[in-house]
Amino acid sequence: MIQASICTIGDEILIGQIVDTNSSRIASALEGIGVRVTRMVSFGDDRKEILECLEEELRRNDIVVVTGGLGPTKDDITKSALAELSGSRMYVENSGQLGIIENILKSRGLDMLDINRAQAYVPDTCSVIPNRLGTAPVMVFRFGEEQYGHQCSLYSLPGVPFEAEGAIPDVLDDIKGHFRLEDIYHRSIMTFGIAESALSKKIADWEDSLPRDMHLAYLPNPLTGVRLRLSVYGGTREEESARIDRKFAELRQILGEAVYAGYDTTLQEVIGRMLKEKGRTVSAAESCTGGMISQLLASVPGASEYYLGSVTSYANSVKENVLGVPAETIEKNGAVSSECVARMAEGVRKLTGSDYSIATSGIAGPGGGSEDKPVGLVWVGVSSASGTRTCKFMFKGDRIRNMERFASSALNVLREKIMSDSNEEL
């Protein structure tokens, strides 16, 4: 099986100032074409370290994908290290990339600087895949058996996540042209509302019944719940797909409503698909989630077909004056209460004219909790023509994590509401 290593170069990663998202995207793409990623390594902007680490990864792997260290500024030395690694004696101008750089600068109304032009110069030992989204081209270096004991390729990609992602399809094409690939097949089933350990107990017998070549992984995420992923190496895709279908059908029997999709997706995508099918619309009234539910709903391409909008009523005055929550409701029950989220959900549905609505009010922390209503408490309300439903949840996390759990739990209540309305209609 073809093996790859993904390397990230940059002090900014090592001191923790930025999170490396490139490696994850590249890994996902490589897995998709049947390349097994064995390691990911990050190391610093230091020539000796770059050379040592890359040589080690080239010895261990068929493919090494490197990101970062190609910026126009002075702290980047990857290119000259790659020139040394490949025995290059001179840089050559790549006219394709130079043209792209000219166009990018022109569209931004900027002059061509020397440091921009320098990005179109590459070691004469590499071939170039032009980067249409940025100024640094993708460089491809090939090494033979005499160097690392086997044929291997090194791809150097820009570190800017948007540009790295844009370069992936061309890199995959190049890999397909140079290596004989085997299939890896992954499929996911999405669950929400059952903790990882409870889930594991619930499906223990099923898990024990899995054939040896199927590997199960639990992938918990506060926004999407626990994703269960089955992986199979080798075989034909059609065959594996049918086998996984059978195992997933058993799993749905065991887990029931906790399964919200049999493929890799999100609650907001599933909600969007249901609303589009039924020609219904949704709106949101948020307090503690601060716009996160709106952002999640709006992040789905095409959301404008069913998502009308939202009110973030952070202040009680906005709950009262914009959403029409009676002042007495808040006085009597507090803003974090079943009554308040019910009125918020009904208010935003009326205000926007949507078929469905979703509302949250809770305490994300770190401050603001009481014994009665501690940090981590959230009330969720959903409303439609069939009525308004509220429920509460309790979580333990920091501010952002609580917001995420609040938002995803609310989306799941909305999903259940849409499904139960559909069942009643039948």
Using CB under 8 A, which residues numbered 191 to 220 contact a copy of itself? Answer: 195-201, 207, 215-220
- Pick 116 or 142: Cβ nearer a copy of itself: 116
290 binds a copy of itself (CB under 8 A): yes
Helix (H, G, I), strand (E, B) or coil at 104: helix
- Number of residues that this document lists for the chain: 426
Q: How far apart are the first and last CA of the chain?
A: 50
42 binds a copy of itself (CB under 8 A): yes
- Pick 109 or 256: Cβ nearer a copy of itself: 109
- Pick 24 or 127: Cβ nearer a copy of itself: 24
Residue 393's φ and ψ, nearest 5 degrees, are -135, 155
Residues within window 89-108 making contact with a copy of itself, judged by CB under 8 A: 107-108
313 binds a copy of itself (CB under 8 A): yes
- Cα-based distances in Å from 407 to 156, 205, 225, 286, 345: 38, 32, 12, 9, 14
Work out how close the CB of 292 gets to a copy of itself at its nearest, in angstroms, rounded to a whole number: 5
Given 173, 250, 257, 398, the residue binding a copy of itself (CB under 8 A): 398
- Pick 9 or 138: Cβ nearer a copy of itself: 9
Strands (E), 10-137: 36-43, 63-67, 91-93, 121-123, 127-129
Nearest to 170 by CA among 160, 159, 178, 180: 178
301 binds a copy of itself (CB under 8 A): yes
Work out how close the CB of 150 gets to a copy of itself at its nearest, in angstroms, rounded to a whole number: 19
163 vs 158: CA distance, rounded Å = 6
CA 113 to chain centre: 35
Work out how close the CB of 426 gets to a copy of itself at its nearest, in angstroms, rounded to a whole number: 29
327 binds a copy of itself (CB under 8 A): no
Residues within window 224-243 making contact with a copy of itself, judged by CB under 8 A: 227, 229, 231
Residues within window 108-147 making contact with a copy of itself, judged by CB under 8 A: 108, 110, 113, 115-116, 133, 135
Nearest to 348 by CA among 322, 326, 327, 328: 322
367 binds a copy of itself (CB under 8 A): yes
- Pick 201 or 332: Cβ nearer a copy of itself: 201
Q: Structure tokens of 288?
A: 């503690």
295 binds a copy of itself (CB under 8 A): yes
- Pick 30 or 418: Cβ nearer a copy of itself: 30
Work out how close the CB of 299 gets to a copy of itself at its nearest, in angstroms, rounded to a whole number: 7
Close Cβ partners of 277 (under 8 Å, ≥ 6 residues apart): none
Work out how close the CB of 386 gets to a copy of itself at its nearest, in angstroms, rounded to a whole number: 22
262 binds a copy of itself (CB under 8 A): no
Q: Which amino acid is at 134?
A: G
Task: Tell me whether the omega of the peptide bond preceding residue 130 falls within 30 degrees of 0, making it cis.
Answer: no
| Cβ–Cβ under 8 Å, residues 382 and 358 | yes
37 binds a copy of itself (CB under 8 A): yes
| Cβ–Cβ under 8 Å, residues 158 and 134 | yes
299 binds a copy of itself (CB under 8 A): yes
